[in-house]
Structure 1
């Protein structure tokens, strides 16, 4: 029935009781709870509770005197207040334990109360951490660079979760580099994907909770102030690690909080990579347009809605102008054939149609070819090529 070894219980008795009154209660609690049990009398107990209440897990009043209970209740705040006596006090308390149940019953009730309070406090703390994390996860969705992601991740771990030693190690080739960290020593050190706890985390894709780094099978080197580690994969991008100078400092709940941060970091980094890939493809599209002598267009839909005329080349601009750029296909093209070829119901293969369309040079008979192309991050995209005397296969 032992409580946590760091539990602290105050036994309070009134000034009017004999000096050894309550000693049996103190002895019983010390023997049963494996906790620090303090004994204070009268006004000293009240003042102690007023000043150091947050350090206590429970207060046991061994007195039926109304004034003693009232004084303690007035300063107890959220500290559980139990009365060991045979009369119900006039002021509200958390529980009254009759003396005929003996000190064994009292010890069990105190232990149960401490455990309930700690569970409640743990839940409150967890909710507070989740609320704090929400602000950082929203911020991650707007990060525009890897450096911004790294800084936000480190801030989330150190501020929202309260962990001071943090490293976001991202993979570069076959090595990890600490992009974001709070380490003052060896910030530039690199490890391969085959080394250390970081390598094991990345290779297995599973969270690692290390209670004693010095005895871990993947121990690599002595690091001052590092005893325990929680190491979480960040997808294919890298690993997020939090460490402590205390042994067995992290439990599964700590790991789950770090996993939340890592999950949002993974999405933010993946988004940045998709945007980078899309920029490369769009750059290629620009060069492609510049090299074509015939009129050409590009249409796309990023979310499954009607495609939009996104870009035209110089030849198209000279013949038809640019007023329609940025408008949906149904408004951007004057002929039914073009609207069909570039719309939502367009074929998934290369198709050509003959059209007649007004231009800066008057009506023109043209052949238009629609070429669907896959582009990263785009739901539907296609090129359109216009020619006067070429039939597209």
Structure 2
């Protein structure tokens, strides 16, 4: 720190001694001395000007030097005060030091050595005071620079970081001309463009140009005391004399200039580096957040963050998967999206994410009521300072459908193997045996038995082929009326004396041909297992909750213990049945993702119920319209 240019107020009741002191001090160093001869005039000078040091005599008439010291301390507690007096005593010295005088010095004979000692004492006192002030200033700067960190934390764009950086450099570091040089398309541009400071670069410049370019390339700060003497310097204005360049990470350069030589010291460099480190961290955070946001928003998976039962963040894919708008998702209970049968398992597995990421599958219910299967990955995180969970959802409905189809295919293969190994072997053996007997005896009765066995085989093969064909997944169902399909099915079944009643119509989404086959098999089952005289009544209608339909009869019914088994292949209590009729019904229902079950009808007979059938909107209105057209 340069100790020159010290402004001194010298207070002495002897005007000639004051002039002598000013003359000597002027020759001994860079002192600018103001002389006053009394208390009042000294106080006026203190009020009107600022001084680096006050030198005061003790005896000033009505006042003494300690009175001046008290008044000066009230105005500036830090300014050095030297009691320079001819009235020397231990008591005066003790009183001066007790009153917070910086130094005490006795006047001598008025020779050069006396004023050399005074000059040294003043320079020493001012140097120490300036050092203390600089240390205080440095501490204030560092504190304020750390306090600006929350401002950077609130920045959501690079432009906001640049504005905050320039503002802090002006406000905290007292830099008058400052900007951030940002590389754009192979050139530096100054930021922020809308800055209202005293200076702003108008034109871009090359990345390797000047001190800024050297700072950017090397990653090292540069302090230049005299730009005119620096070969690398290319100042944008002739008035610039010194400069300070500090790298902002690898993203930019913080540049300050001054119209004074030597305007920046090592403290300025250190503080600018601290400010630049905050800015670089903010820029890196924003870049990471933007990259993360891009990845999240463009992800094929639904990405979400939740606390308790509320979403805190969802990407667009979550809205697509659920059918809800993002604004609606933030307002709703997230657990309402999870199928009620899976809800507790999902909650329980989410709690397990406290120990590490958890992956599981669950069903969600979309806004339109359809159900989709999801693979859910969940991990515990901290969000806005509070514990939270972050999840990713991937739609695996098609995969689950393929898995179920594969399972059904494997089951059918096992059924076919059973039919081939057992059900077909029996009638084949009967046919072969009767043919052999016919050849040996010539009795046509054996040929009739062989023919019956072959008919049995033909029926079995037909049913097995139907089981294979009807079990494949329904891909594109149409809206059909239950009444029309049921009526068509009734006409192709050998119903004998049985009667058909349509109780209530329904408009459902189904593969019409397969629905017809399902109803045909239900009708055959009712007729084959009906009353002895064949006068069974079969009723078709919609379920009360409009989620499906039923086929009921007034026959003997199905025993309660057998109602699940009747849908298995080969199960029948009729000597002429193949046991595949209701198994085919179950396969057709499963191919549609319906549920099928058996229960007792109102008349005590059998009632086959098919549920989870997708209704077509305005079914009743459409049915009425069809009736009116007819």
Q: Normalized against structure 1, the TM-score is what?
A: 0.74
**Are 1:154 and 2:166 an aligned pair?**
yes
Stretches of structure 1 lacking an aligned partner (at least 5 in a row): 290-296
Where in structure 2 are the equivalents of 1:57-72 lying within 5 Å?
A: 57-65=52-60, 67-72=63-68
2:595 corresponding residue in structure 1: none
1:254 corresponding residue in structure 2: 268
Asked if the contact 1:61–1:84 (Cα under 8 Å) also holds between the matched residues in 2, the reply is yes
C-alpha distance in 1 between matches for 2:322 and 2:196: 54
Q: 1:370 to 1:39 in 2, by over 3 A?
A: same
Q: Which structure has more helix as a fraction of its residues?
A: 2
1:292 corresponding residue in structure 2: none
2:131 corresponding residue in structure 1: 119
Stretches of structure 2 lacking an aligned partner (at least 5 in a row): 404-630
Paired residue secondary structure (1:171): strand
Q: 2:281 aligns with which of 252, 267, 277?
A: 267
Higher relative contact order (CA 8 A, sep 6+): 1
C-alpha distance in 2 between matches for 1:299 and 1:109: 71
Q: Quote how far apart the aligned CAs of 1:6 are.
A: 1.1
**Are 1:325 and 2:334 an aligned pair?**
yes
C-alpha distance in 2 between matches for 1:3 and 1:140: 35
2:239 corresponding residue in structure 1: 225
Where in structure 2 are the equivalents of 1:64-103 lying within 5 Å?
A: 64-65=59-60, 67-76=63-72, 77-78=75-76, 79-85=79-85, 86-87=88-89, 88=92, 92-94=99-101, 95-99=103-107, 102-103=114-115
String of CA shifts for 1:207-259, please: whole Å, max 9, x gaps.
11111222323223551321111111111221111110111110011122222
Q: 1:333 to 1:178 in 2, by over 3 A?
A: farther
Q: Which moved more, 1:136-145 or 1:331-340?
A: 331-340
Q: 1:260 to 1:301 in 2, by over 3 A?
A: farther
Paired residue secondary structure (2:16): coil
String of CA shifts for 1:354-375, please: whole Å, max 9, x gaps.
x79999999x9x98656799xx
Q: Quote how far apart the aligned CAs of 1:127 are.
A: 3.6
Where in structure 2 are the equivalents of 1:207-218 lying within 5 Å?
A: 207-218=221-232
C-alpha distance in 2 between matches for 1:83 and 1:192: 59
Asked if the contact 1:26–1:37 (Cα under 8 Å) also holds between the matched residues in 2, the reply is yes
C-alpha distance in 1 between matches for 2:341 and 2:156: 32
Paired residue secondary structure (1:246): coil
**Are 1:41 and 2:37 an aligned pair?**
yes
Q: 1:189 aligns with which of 187, 203, 208?
A: 203
Q: Quote how far apart the aligned CAs of 1:70 are.
A: 4.5
C-alpha distance in 2 between matches for 1:214 and 1:233: 22
1:343 corresponding residue in structure 2: 353
2:47 corresponding residue in structure 1: 51
**Are 1:141 and 2:172 an aligned pair?**
no
Asked if the contact 2:216–2:252 (Cα under 8 Å) also holds between the matched residues in 1, the reply is yes
String of CA shifts for 1:260-302, please: whole Å, max 9, x gaps.
32222222222222232233223212xx35xxxxxxx545699
Asked if the contact 2:246–2:254 (Cα under 8 Å) also holds between the matched residues in 1, the reply is yes
Whose radius of gyration is greater, 1 or 2? 2
Equivalenced residues, count? 365
**Are 1:166 and 2:178 an aligned pair?**
yes
Q: 1:33 to 1:187 in 2, by over 3 A?
A: closer
Asked if the contact 1:150–1:179 (Cα under 8 Å) also holds between the matched residues in 2, the reply is yes
Asked if the contact 1:168–1:240 (Cα under 8 Å) also holds between the matched residues in 2, the reply is yes
